[in-house]
Structure 1
Amino acid sequence: MTKKISVVVVDDSALVRSLLTEIINRQHDMVCVGAAADPLIAREMIRELNPDVITLDVEMPRMDGLEFLSRLMRLRPMPVVMVSTLTEQGADITLRALEMGAVDYVAKPRIGVSNGLQELAGDIVDKIRVASCAQVRRLAPAPAAAAAGSPATPSQPARAPLPRLSTEKIICIGSSTGGTEAIREVLTPMPADAPAIVITQHMPPGFTTSFAARLNTLCRIQVSEAQQGQRILPGHAYIAPGGHHLRIDRSGSNYVAVIEDTEPVNRHRPSVEVLFKSAAHVLGPNAIGIMLTGMGGDGAQAMREMKDAGSYNYVQDEASCVVFGMPRMAIQAGAAHEILPLTQIANAVLNRLASSPAGVRHRI
């Protein structure tokens, strides 16, 4: 008999603990082995029960969720799914939690919690399943400056301007679970004159604004949520708004962003498939594709279409992925030119751009 995924729920709301316990116990492949009202109780439960996954609220008595997560990921790393309210502050806190090593998050409704969580039940248990097989890493101690509250700055040395790049080149990135930190790893080395970057990260409404703003403070390029009809320009990165598809189109001699509220594709909105298909059709050999960590296969076939249209594609390797789903499917689809550790992808892209004559269209 297959072992069930064991889960400990940590939330100060008795209602939320009861609802999550019931949702988890309805599944044939998981069981809630404990529910704690605060992190100190949870700490003892984790020691005693050794769960596969914990769900963790943010605002709790005696110790907030972020402090508990920080200690947990330094001393006893394990898969964590955050439960965060869908607010601007909640989004910022959730992004900090993902930086600390949380695998994923659930956007807990502010009102109508009972009905809201039941509607999210499928999403919740899917994220628990993904978390149970995710690769988690020990959180390194914070540097003294960071601990003192100093603003983060890019750690990479300044890079010389890229030689006469074609302004037509556009880098297209797709990611899901684990993608927020993977995207940061790719974007922070990019120089101010990097080609335009368009990104689809699976995120709900309300989170991508904070995600873009956070990246904008860390990067030399300008990072923002994509807007309808916006010109796609070098030195900028554009993130698909949560709950909307992003695709690329042409308007005269310019590339522009198109934002659509159409049906989900591969169960996702935004979908990597939509972005990558538009890149294949509109950009052709002027595209560079990057597939990062994520569950499922969204974007894999479209990335192969990009390759067939002449793009050059990079795929994150298994060892550096939180979840090796989307990259695996892209590799199986024959979409990858290079399979690299996350830390090598940005430099590989920049070195390729620097060695390519301006305006040359690569077809491989």
Structure 2
Amino acid sequence: MKTKVLIVDDSALVRGLMTEILSADPQIEVVGVASDPYVARDKIKQLHPDVLTLDVEMPRMDGLTFLDNLMRLHPMPVLMVSSLTEAGADVTLQALELGAVDFVTKPKLDVRAGLNAYADQLREKVRTIGRARPRNARSSTGVAPRLRRPFRTTDRLIAIGASTGGTEAIREVLERMPPDGPAVVITQHIPAAFSGPFAARLNRTSAMSVCEAQDGQPIVPGHAYVAPGDRHLLVARDGARYVCRLSDGAPVNRHRPSVDVMFDSLARHAGANVAAAVLTGMGDDGARGLLALRETGARTLVQDEASSIVWGMPGAAHKLGAAERVLPLDAIAEQLLNDAAA
């Protein structure tokens, strides 16, 4: 059965290019296009699309206002189309917070070449989120009180890997962490222009200090470190302490940063001192690395299917036998803290 798509963008060029790109996939049917949210609202009622692609800057109503209304009144999978700028990144992260499932980047210059460069990714994301669960369609627990655990050592680490839907899942986990909890290292599949704003948003909502990781940076309790969007994040030993190492190595599982790369470094240098989780995401990155961690004595878990937007990465890790536990998102922070305190 084909995934039916409605394209919402004020640019006739972009609407035409995206129609051409998506229609090249036999599993996708572009059922319509809309130049602004008011037209889109009527076409959603007429055409019943499975997926909406949505621009941010549009006439008559901006994309965020429309998305907020849509998720309250008619939740459905939405793929944002955003520019490769820091301002665009912040708006995109707001869209994900409002309920969009994922995003693709749209360069401001040479849009035709830029979108064609993302053609395979665009088609893959549309196919995937056509099967996704809109976040507002699931139960929401809100922000839970931060948890506290007695930590006997400073050498315990928490590691989190995620992809599609992960920006909001990671935010929810970090919001529950205490300010003096074990250090957290994070690999989220995200473009380079977005990882800095993503870390900044996490820093504003978490009691921990959150930053984009830097090469050689000491890893200390009460802090969380986000992999830069175009570099692998590894954890290494430097005497008695852990430090961040960044690598420009080739993509692994088509990703840089890669969750497997981070988990493998933790298996080598931290082993049983790690509590690790794979959250919602497309593909299988992190599955083999989580298994390597479990084999060293690390505590491992994955997000369950019901609370995941896409159960690709956690499902692959579960199938491989890499996870000790499968838990809903709202139980993951507490379990990671329990495992780190054990």
TM range (shorter): over 0.9
Once the two structures are superposed, residues 34-87 of structure 1 have per-residue CA deviations (whole angstroms, 9 ceiling, x without a partner) of 111101011111110001111000000000000111111111111100001111
Query: Does the 8 Å CA contact 1:276/1:306 hold for their aligned counterparts?
Result: yes
Query: Does the 8 Å CA contact 2:135/2:309 hold for their aligned counterparts?
Result: no
Unaligned runs of 5+ in 2: none
Query: Does the 8 Å CA contact 1:84/1:106 hold for their aligned counterparts?
Result: yes
Q: Distance in 1 between matches of 2:151 and 2:54?
A: 49
AA at the equivalent of 1:269: R
Query: Does the 8 Å CA contact 2:52/2:79 hold for their aligned counterparts?
Result: yes
Aligned pairs for 1:243-322 (under 5 A) are 243-322=230-309
Q: Call closer, same or farther: CA 1:318–1:159 in 2, change over 3 Å.
A: closer
Q: With the length of structure 1 as denominator, give the TM-score of the two structures.
A: 0.91
Query: Does the 8 Å CA contact 1:11/1:57 hold for their aligned counterparts?
Result: yes
Aligned pairs for 1:57-68 (under 5 A) are 57-68=55-66
- For 2:181, the equivalent position in structure 1 comes to 194
1:81 and 2:79 correspond? yes
**Secondary structure of the equivalent of 1:224?**
strand
Instruction: Please report how far the alpha carbon of residue 254 of structure 1 lies from its aligned counterpart in structure 2 after TM superposition.
Output: 1.6
1:241 and 2:228 correspond? yes
**Secondary structure of the equivalent of 1:285?**
helix
Q: Distance in 2 between matches of 1:90 and 1:309?
A: 41
The counterpart of 1:91, out of the listed 73, 76, 89, is 89
Query: Does the 8 Å CA contact 1:6/1:30 hold for their aligned counterparts?
Result: yes
Q: Distance in 2 between matches of 1:159 and 1:328?
A: 27
- For 2:69, the equivalent position in structure 1 comes to 71
Unaligned runs of 5+ in 1: 141-153, 357-364
Identity rate, percent: 53
**Secondary structure of the equivalent of 1:320?**
coil
Instruction: Please report how far the alpha carbon of residue 164 of structure 1 lies from its aligned counterpart in structure 2 after TM superposition.
Output: 4.0
Instruction: Please report how far the alpha carbon of residue 289 of structure 1 lies from its aligned counterpart in structure 2 after TM superposition.
Output: 0.8
Q: With the length of structure 2 as denominator, give the TM-score of the two structures.
A: 0.96
Q: Call closer, same or farther: CA 1:274–1:158 in 2, change over 3 Å.
A: closer
Larger radius of gyration: 1
- For 2:13, the equivalent position in structure 1 comes to 15
1:43 and 2:41 correspond? yes
1:109 and 2:107 correspond? yes
Q: Distance in 1 between matches of 2:99 and 2:48?
A: 18
Q: Call closer, same or farther: CA 1:158–1:57 in 2, change over 3 Å.
A: closer
Once the two structures are superposed, residues 161-208 of structure 1 have per-residue CA deviations (whole angstroms, 9 ceiling, x without a partner) of x32431111101000000011101111111111000000000011101
AA at the equivalent of 1:302: G
- For 1:169, the equivalent position in structure 2 comes to 156
- For 2:52, the equivalent position in structure 1 comes to 54
Query: Does the 8 Å CA contact 1:205/1:243 hold for their aligned counterparts?
Result: yes
Q: Call closer, same or farther: CA 1:306–1:292 in 2, change over 3 Å.
A: same
Once the two structures are superposed, residues 236-258 of structure 1 have per-residue CA deviations (whole angstroms, 9 ceiling, x without a partner) of 00000001111111112221111
1:157 and 2:145 correspond? yes
AA at the equivalent of 2:228: P
Once the two structures are superposed, residues 102-144 of structure 1 have per-residue CA deviations (whole angstroms, 9 ceiling, x without a partner) of 110011111111111111101111110111010113379xxxx
**Secondary structure of the equivalent of 2:136?**
coil
- For 1:359, the equivalent position in structure 2 comes to none
Query: Does the 8 Å CA contact 2:147/2:178 hold for their aligned counterparts?
Result: yes
Instruction: Please report how far the alpha carbon of residue 350 of structure 1 lies from its aligned counterpart in structure 2 after TM superposition.
Output: 2.1
Q: Call closer, same or farther: CA 1:90–1:54 in 2, change over 3 Å.
A: same
- For 2:210, the equivalent position in structure 1 comes to 223
AA at the equivalent of 2:280: T
4+ long deviations beyond 6 Å: none
**Secondary structure of the equivalent of 1:94?**
helix
Query: Does the 8 Å CA contact 1:101/1:139 hold for their aligned counterparts?
Result: no
Query: Does the 8 Å CA contact 1:279/1:306 hold for their aligned counterparts?
Result: yes
Query: Does the 8 Å CA contact 2:158/2:340 hold for their aligned counterparts?
Result: no
Q: Distance in 2 between matches of 1:352 and 1:302?
A: 18
**Secondary structure of the equivalent of 2:249?**
coil
Instruction: Please report how far the alpha carbon of residue 4 of structure 1 lies from its aligned counterpart in structure 2 after TM superposition.
Output: 1.4
Query: Does the 8 Å CA contact 1:289/1:313 hold for their aligned counterparts?
Result: yes
The counterpart of 1:33, out of the listed 27, 31, 34, is 31
AA at the equivalent of 1:185: E
Aligned pairs for 1:130-149 (under 5 A) are 130-138=128-136
